[in-house]
A and B are shown apart, each in its own frame.
Chain A
Amino acid sequence: MNKNQESLRLDDVLIEFDDVCKMYQTSKGQVNALTDINFKIKKGSICGIIGLSGAGKSTFVRCINLLEKPTSGKVLLNGENLLDISDKELRIKRQKMGMIFQHFNLLEQRTALDNICFPLELAGFSRKQARAKAMKYLEIVDLVDRKDNFPSQLSGGQKQRIAIARALATEPEVLLCDEATSALDPTTTNSILDLLKDINAKLGVTVVIITHEMGIVEKICDYVAVIDKGRIVEEGKVKDIFLAPKSQYTKKLLYPDLSNFAVENKKKVIRLSFDGQSSYEPVIANLVLKCNAKINILGASTENISGKAFGQMLIEMPKDEKVLAKVKNYLDEIHINYEEDI
């Protein structure tokens, strides 16, 4: 277990998985969807659960609100084991856990506004109260002018915004996002991520993000768990995981194309991580000119956000100790994180 996790105070933990296992019986035998999951989600954080499809991440998130019941273990919400309470109590707890989905799952026969009213009606609010509250959340997601539209009249991004408003209407403590941007284009994805970040900052709602895209974790999460074959293979602060991934699986997630590079033995591969350094610094040119390194860019995924560089770059250079020392020296000087021999 990670040190960051150990040091969490009890009051800071919103959700805790204690030895959670989930098994399915299928015609082909027993499938272990989740094995020995121990995990804590901190109040107010944005926590990412990343894995490839079939890794068990959807089961993971469904075990939080018990849409799927773990075979063994405990799921604690504010210290209370959800597996011990009655169905009726569980339904009330679920009102405090909003969820959004890949395919939005809006009620097609209700208008945008009435969709947001839906969880409020379930919670026993009168129609008038529900509408007033729903309007407030329509404002938060910036779709007041679409209140009388039906889902079929909205774009994917707008549908997800309505779904977010709907999930927030009962003032939940946590918002569970199951591949919430996977059906959206990159621009819309970014605007939805910005909205989630905003909601987290302004309303203090804890956000749990299930995704297969590292870019999403990188963009908005504070903490991340990497899940493979139903087990957590690695977890930690997003920055730490990005700068120094430990498991082979995480590296594969970070650089899906790495295996395609035929790297000769004579060459050395270095990964540079940019996390907010100036994007005006001509790093590559300086590596060539100052350090005399004949570098070759193998792959890069970088973004320039208001003059600061974020992302990764994979470079290849000859195995020359002298040059390498210079390169390291230079990178240290300009505070760029790097990793060798990946």
Chain B
Amino acid sequence: MSISFDILMKLLLDGVAETLYMTIVGTFAAYILGIPLGVLLYVTSKEGIRPNKVVYGLFGAVINVIRSIPFLILLVALIPVTRLIVGTSVGTNATIVPLVIGAAPFVARMIESSLLEVDNGVIEAAQSMGASNFQIVKKVLLPEAKPSLLTGSTIAITTILGYSALAGFVGGGGLGATALNYGYTRYQTDVMLITVAVLVIIVQVFQEVGMFIVRKTDKRKK
């Protein structure tokens, strides 16, 4: 081993803590932005409850543009914005800003597609009972799409975890930075491999826990 066990453990523990911090805070914030955006996309889409070509086209275009930019480029391009919000463009907190901006459009699209899965008949039934559009979103669409939304969020959290690994490039922390700094820069392949193994375990845990929750909450098949 190229470094002592104690140092390795500290590296890994710090890395895991920072990675989880970035991923969880990032995912949370991405959903705060993504949910209203996804609902807006659904509601204004052609199949939605209040179609609006202009709004749908405009937001759809912005989302597509952001989604086309590679995350590494976005990370660099957003440095001025990050500095404005966090006060610095270096470090773990600074990584969260581009993480959220990069992930929110992706989350919005996923929410839109989850909502599209809700049976139109159920929405029609709610309308026949005199539900307003707001009530339909709150009491029909989101609760009925819950299992699909949760499946989406497991995908989102693992994707955001992947994004966060690039934080090392702008001086952020986390396991990605550890792998980059020790494995790539210092040629310590063993450290890199161990770090990657830990990342794999974290993704597995997220995936399994996520699907477990989905199975628990879905009332359709029991």
Tell me whether A and B are bound partners. yes
User: What residues of chain A have their CB less than 8 Å away from a CB belonging to chain B?
Assistant: 65, 67, 90-95, 97-99, 101, 103, 105-110, 118-119, 121-123, 150-153, 163, 166-167, 170, 176
Q: A33 to B143, alpha carbons, bound, how many Å?
A: 34
- Known interface pairs A152-B220, A152-B221, A153-B222; A92-B130 also in contact (CB < 8 Å): yes
Closest residue to A152 on the B side, CB-wise? B220
- B53 — which chain A residues lie within 8 A by C-beta? none
User: What residues of chain B have their CB less than 8 Å away from a CB belonging to chain A?
Assistant: 119, 121-122, 124-132, 135, 139-140, 143-144, 146-147, 218-222
- A92 — which chain B residues lie within 8 A by C-beta? 130
- Given contact pairs A98-B129, A150-B220, enumerate 7 new A-B contacts (beta carbons under 8 Å): A65-B128, A94-B128, A95-B130, A105-B124, A105-B125, A108-B144, A109-B219
Q: List 14 A-B contacts (CB under 8 A).
A: A67-B127, A67-B128, A91-B130, A94-B130, A95-B130, A101-B125, A103-B119, A109-B147, A121-B139, A122-B139, A150-B222, A153-B222, A167-B129, A176-B128
- Known interface pairs A107-B140, A108-B219, A109-B146; A122-B124 also in contact (CB < 8 Å): no
- B121 — which chain A residues lie within 8 A by C-beta? 101, 103, 105
Q: A155 to B146, alpha carbons, bound, how many Å?
A: 23
- B130 — which chain A residues lie within 8 A by C-beta? 90-95, 119, 122-123
Closest residue to B128 on the A side, CB-wise? A99
- B127 — which chain A residues lie within 8 A by C-beta? 67, 94
- Known interface pairs A92-B130, A107-B143, A118-B139; A99-B219 also in contact (CB < 8 Å): no
Q: A148 to B158, alpha carbons, bound, how many Å?
A: 35
CB <8 Å contact, B131 and A91: yes
A136 to chain B: closest CB distance in Å? 17
Please tell me which one of the listed residues A97, A99, A122 contacts residue B135 in the complex, with CB atoms under 8 A apart.
A122
Q: A16 to B147, alpha carbons, bound, how many Å?
A: 43
A86 to chain B: closest CB distance in Å? 12
CB <8 Å contact, B222 and A107: no
B49 to chain A: closest CB distance in Å? 12
Q: A115 to B126, alpha carbons, bound, how many Å?
A: 11
Closest residue to B140 on the A side, CB-wise? A107
Q: A166 to B126, alpha carbons, bound, how many Å?
A: 11
CB <8 Å contact, B128 and A108: no
CB <8 Å contact, A67 and B124: yes
